[in-house]
Amino acid sequence: MIISLNAIKQIYKQTGAADFLPDDINKVAEKVGAQLGEIEEIIDLGKKYEGIVAAKVISCEKHPGADRLKLCTIDIGGNSTVVKGDKDGLVQVVCGAPNVRVGMLAAWIPPGATVPATYDKEPLVLEAREIRGVKSYGMLASAHELGLSDDHDGILEIDKEAKPGDLFAKLYKLDDFIIDIENKMFTHRPDCFGLLGIARELAGIYHKSFVSPEWYAEKAQSSKLKTQSDELPLEVVNEIPELVPRFCMATVSDVKVATSPVWLQAALSKAGIKAVNNIVDLTNFYMYYTGQPLHAYDYDKVAKLSGKNAQIKVRKAKQGEKLKLLNGKEITAENGDIMIATDKVPVGIGGVIGGADTEVDASTKNIILECANFDSYTIRRTSMHHGIFTEAVTRFTKGQSPHQNLAVLTKVVGDTVTFTGGKISGTTFDLKGRLTGNKTIETSPEFINSRLGLKLTSEQISSILKNVEFIVDSSKDELEITAPFWRTDIEIPEDIVEEVGRLYGYDHLPLNLPKKTMTASVVSDELRLKQELRGKLAALGANEVLNYSFVRSELLENAGQDKNDSYKIKNALSPDLQYYRQALTPSLLEKVHPNIKAGFSNFALFELGKVHINNKTTGGLPDEFGRLSLVTASKSKRVAAFYTAKKYLVELLAGLDVDESELSFEPLGTKKDASTTYYEPGRAANIKLNNEPIGYIGEYTKKAASGLKLPEFCAGFEIELATLLNLNAVASSYKPLSRYPSISLDITLQTDSSTSFAEVKNALVESIESSAPEDLSVKIESLDVFSKDSNHKNTSFRIVATSYQRTLTTDTLNIILDKASDHLNKTIKASRV
């Protein structure tokens, strides 16, 4: 919402309030920021009009060198530091406007000043220059050049009492500050989309009392306009009072459409509204003043588009009906739109924008003025659907009060008659649906104080609220508070708390911390686990990556995943963001090639994230699977990457107190799901922890590798975090230290090459455990896996034994290992080498 400080001061003058605003704009801005809403911008409008003065045209002759130009001398009252003028102080200026004439008072932009219309774009600074051989100093400006309207058919004529040399900005109150407050703050404040509301609010935060002008106040709501002329027959019907709770209309005959007086153009220009003509400008002015949008129709055009008599019907749109709009576009209406129509054709979208065919223009003689209220949800839907965003939409979507319709209409009709010389014609229509007033809210100083941490008295609260025209009955213990009709946002006691707190000033609240209990806070297991994993993986030299939760279809395809297994984004701006990912690994693999290209030859990337698989739900909500994925890659290594990935996994889990013996790796079968499609079957495994599956590990298929440009050395794992959360806290595995030294012995077992490493090791562990005496503690380390030919393989281990009762000899251990070997020979056909 754009606020003119001069306009606010003007309102205080009109309503008899003292001007309490400090002169320092920064002080005002600070207060507005703290108690009204965030300021986006402050504009010193005076700068835009700096140097521009009123000038009287003294002589005006044909330019000696150009037919269409005139050579003028002007009186600038001596008010220029740049131009001296001739001996009489008169300044020479060339002007091409058809309306320039001797005696007229115009706005002169001197050399060195900026043309206001270009001020905030590419500033055009004037200079004294020769035009066709004649020196011209500055220019006489049109309304367009002054940034007031689109009118550049001629120069602007100063239409009020003024002397040559008077500052143009001062004459039309353009020596002003404009404060732009972010609209979002006012989402629930329809009244703050009008200057009147802002003036009231500002008074409130300065703890000054404000009284709305009488014509706007409650008692004016039923006043009727008196018919002054023969009736312009009009019939008005509202078919949808549930969506249009109030619809008011009046007709004015014999108007003279003309350019608005300069003050009105100036007032609108501050709000960024371009002047059109006196009728339209007045409706816009009062919208800017009260927050209530209005619309003017050309009566005769409406009559022509009607059947027998001029008719206005408020109805729902008929599917497919077309309407040409004021902004030049044509729309095809939707069922839900609110249409203003004659009995034959639509003439406007209610509350959004008018139709082109009933526009008020220079030829208009009779007008219909509309001031109505529309359902904010419907307006929003229509605006979004058609992509039409007007000043009216901005205001109606905030929920304007229907109680102001007749008062605003009465005011605008009155001013229209004054300005255009028209006559009120026929009856004023006021079609009402079910209108409800604001209900009285019961609350108490205790309630308000408890919410704010203050100790305000009942009188202080009453005064704060009464300043902005709330009705407060504080005669009882309770407070009975009724919000004024324009406040459609006040419904519950908490709304009153907000009002009191803000108007009192939140910066005055005592700052105390809440009382603490001694209960320990709980950081969720998942957050703690992730933090632990993240630290351990970084210590293993891996780098944490964050990838988007959404992927493009091509990545799913490269990973061999089915699009239908992904939740799909309906309105993604980019095709890169269409699908929820089903696994972390594919996104991580995508980051491998760019890093190799960037010169990193050996690295490990990991991500802790969530995945979603379509149709897996709990209680109607998609399941979220917390996962850890790691990928290791090297540009140059030529060994199987699988084992490096496995090394990361084993080391990581060791950090979580998982012993390697609790882990098992089972070759990946051919049955594939979304998490395994991209693994190469012969070089990938199911990971099991204490026989429960926790995830997958492996190298990648050729399809994935070529699609994602992976190096030959590339492997990784992805595990389900939930499975790690369920790890039972391991009871301490501490063993008292032995007083006797340990001894160690290596053993190599030859097996068929198809016997897996795990089979050999497990069998060895089992047989040692069964044959070793009870006082012995035995540890087994892997040493080597060696194969001379394709049929056999030798697997070597180091056995470290400790006794708690005796000093061991190599022989004792050898006997145990021999026994174990005999056993292994039977079970897995292994022989000790």
Partner 1 sequence: MALDKKIVESLVARAEKGDRTVLRSNELKALFDEIKTLPPDEKAAYGQEFNAFKAKLESILDNLAASPSNLKPIDVTAPWDVNTVEADRPKTLRAEDGSTHPLMIETQELIDIFARMGFSALESRQIDDDWNMFTSLNFPEGHPARDDYDTFIVEEKDKHGKNLIAPAHTSTMQNRVLKANKHLLARGEPIAYVIPGRVFRNEDVDATHDHTFYQLEGLYVGKDVNTGHLIATLKTFLEEYYGQKLKAKTQPFYFPFTEPSFEFAIEKPKALKKSANNTEEWLEILGCGMIHPNVLKAAGIDPAIYTGFAWGGGIDRLVMLKHGIEDIRHFHSGKLNFLRQFE
Chain residues 685-724 in contact with partner 1, contact rule CB under 8 A: 685, 697-699, 701-703, 705-707
Do the Cβ atoms of 591 and 630 come closer than 8 Å? no
How far is Cα 324 from Cα 331, in angstroms, rounded to an integer? 7
Residue selected from 16, 330, 621, 691 as contacting partner 1 according to rule CB under 8 A:
621
Which residue lies nearer to partner 1 by CB, 415 or 544?
544
Do the Cβ atoms of 353 and 389 come closer than 8 Å? no
How far is Cα 745 from Cα 183, in angstroms, rounded to an integer? 81
SS3 31: helix
Task: Choose the stretch contacting partner 1; rule: CB under 8 A; options: 113-121, 133-141, 323-331, 615-623.
Answer: 615-623
Task: Choose the stretch contacting partner 1; rule: CB under 8 A; options: 14-22, 126-134, 217-225, 617-625.
Answer: 617-625
Q: Kindly state the tokens that stand for 266.
A: 């100036």
Residue selected from 95, 537, 714, 749 as contacting partner 1 according to rule CB under 8 A:
537
Do the Cβ atoms of 802 and 740 come closer than 8 Å? yes
Kindly provide the residue ranges of all beta strands, DSSP E only, lying in 151-264, ordered along the sequence: 177-181, 235-238, 246-253
Q: What separation in angstroms does the CA of 739 have from each of 769, 801, 805, 809? A: 22, 13, 8, 15
How many positions of this chain bind partner 1 (CB under 8 A)?
133
How far is Cα 331 from Cα 385, in angstroms, rounded to an integer? 10
Which residue lies nearer to partner 1 by CB, 476 or 647?
647
Q: What separation in angstroms does the CA of 470 have from each of 201, 205, 767? A: 12, 14, 90
Query: Across the strands, what pairs with 249?
Result: 370, 429
Contact flag: residue 136 with partner 1 (CB under 8 A): no
Contact flag: residue 539 with partner 1 (CB under 8 A): yes
Do the Cβ atoms of 514 and 453 come closer than 8 Å? no
Residue selected from 228, 229, 463, 664 as contacting partner 1 according to rule CB under 8 A:
664
Q: Residue 723 CB, nearest distance to partner 1 (Å)? A: 17
Task: Choose the stretch contacting partner 1; rule: CB under 8 A; options: 184-192, 289-297, 311-319, 743-751.
Answer: 184-192
Contact flag: residue 624 with partner 1 (CB under 8 A): yes
Contact flag: residue 605 with partner 1 (CB under 8 A): yes
Contact flag: residue 669 with partner 1 (CB under 8 A): no
From 147, 73, 69, 136, select the one nearest 104 (Cα to Cα): 73
Task: Choose the stretch contacting partner 1; rule: CB under 8 A; options: 112-120, 349-357, 358-366, 620-628.
Answer: 620-628
Q: Residue 27 CB, nearest distance to partner 1 (Å)? A: 15
Q: Residue 319 CB, nearest distance to partner 1 (Å)? A: 20
Alpha helices in 278-375 (DSSP H): 278-290, 299-305
Which residue lies nearer to partner 1 by CB, 225 or 605?
605
From 600, 588, 663, select the one nearest 631 (Cα to Cα): 588
From 672, 676, 677, 669, select the one nearest 557 (Cα to Cα): 677
Contact flag: residue 570 with partner 1 (CB under 8 A): yes
Task: Choose the stretch contacting partner 1; rule: CB under 8 A; options: 83-91, 247-255, 348-356, 515-523.
Answer: 515-523
Residue selected from 159, 180, 680, 766 as contacting partner 1 according to rule CB under 8 A:
680
Give the single-character DSSP code of 403: G
Q: Residue 567 CB, nearest distance to partner 1 (Å)? A: 5
Which residue lies nearer to partner 1 by CB, 554 or 818?
554
Query: Across the strands, what pairs with 372?
Result: 247
Chain residues 777-806 in contact with partner 1, contact rule CB under 8 A: 782, 785-787, 793
Which residue lies nearer to partner 1 by CB, 220 or 780?
780
From 691, 817, 693, select the one nearest 743 (Cα to Cα): 817
Q: Residue 384 CB, nearest distance to partner 1 (Å)? A: 7
Contact flag: residue 549 with partner 1 (CB under 8 A): yes
How far is Cα 344 from Cα 330, in angstroms, rounded to an integer? 18
Q: Residue 164 CB, nearest distance to partner 1 (Å)? A: 44
Contact flag: residue 562 with partner 1 (CB under 8 A): no
Contact flag: residue 725 with partner 1 (CB under 8 A): no
Contact flag: residue 514 with partner 1 (CB under 8 A): yes
Which residue lies nearer to partner 1 by CB, 12 or 186?
186
Query: Which run of H or E residues covers position 494?
Result: helix 493-504
Q: Residue 762 CB, nearest distance to partner 1 (Å)? A: 9
Chain residues 270-289 in contact with partner 1, contact rule CB under 8 A: none
Residue selected from 598, 729, 731, 737 as contacting partner 1 according to rule CB under 8 A:
598
CB atoms within 10 A of CB 700: 28
* x-or-dash string of contact with partner 1, 47-86, rule CB under 8 A: ----------------------------------------
C-alpha 329 chain-centroid distance: 27
* x-or-dash string of contact with partner 1, 13-52, rule CB under 8 A: --------------------xxxxxx--------------
Query: Which run of H or E residues covers position 703?
Result: helix 702-707
Q: Residue 714 CB, nearest distance to partner 1 (Å)? A: 12
Q: Residue 355 CB, nearest distance to partner 1 (Å)? A: 24
Residue selected from 256, 385, 476, 568 as contacting partner 1 according to rule CB under 8 A:
568
Which residue lies nearer to partner 1 by CB, 463 or 543?
543
Query: Which run of H or E residues covers position 368?
Result: strand 367-373
Chain residues 441-500 in contact with partner 1, contact rule CB under 8 A: 450-454, 492, 494-495, 497-498
Provide the phi-psi class of 387: left if phi over 0, else alpha when psi is between -120 and 50, else beta. Answer: left
Residue selected from 123, 594, 669, 773 as contacting partner 1 according to rule CB under 8 A:
594
How far is Cα 201 from Cα 598, in angstroms, rounded to an integer? 59
Contact flag: residue 654 with partner 1 (CB under 8 A): no
Which residue lies nearer to partner 1 by CB, 116 or 626?
626
How far is Cα 720 from Cα 734, in angstroms, rounded to an integer? 29
Q: CA angle 693-698-702, nearest 5°?
A: 135
Provide the phi-psi class of 751: left if phi over 0, else alpha when psi is between -120 and 50, else beta. Answer: beta
Which residue lies nearer to partner 1 by CB, 55 or 545?
545
Do the Cβ atoms of 104 and 57 come closer than 8 Å? yes
Which residue lies nearer to partner 1 by CB, 538 or 815?
538
Which residue lies nearer to partner 1 by CB, 219 or 570?
570
Residue selected from 320, 620, 736, 741 as contacting partner 1 according to rule CB under 8 A:
620
Do the Cβ atoms of 191 and 204 come closer than 8 Å? no
How far is Cα 509 from Cα 452, in angstroms, rounded to an integer? 7
Q: Kindly state the tokens that stand for 480.
A: 């009975």
Residue selected from 119, 206, 263, 600 as contacting partner 1 according to rule CB under 8 A:
600
From 345, 339, 344, 342, select the one nearest 372 (Cα to Cα): 339
Task: Choose the stretch contacting partner 1; rule: CB under 8 A; options: 45-53, 436-444, 504-512, 737-745.
Answer: 504-512
Q: Residue 771 CB, nearest distance to partner 1 (Å)? A: 23
From 391, 427, 383, 421, select the one nearest 409 (Cα to Cα): 427
Q: At what angle do helices 195-205 and 25-35 cross, to 10 degrees?
A: 90
Chain residues 350-409 in contact with partner 1, contact rule CB under 8 A: 376-377, 380-381, 384, 397-398
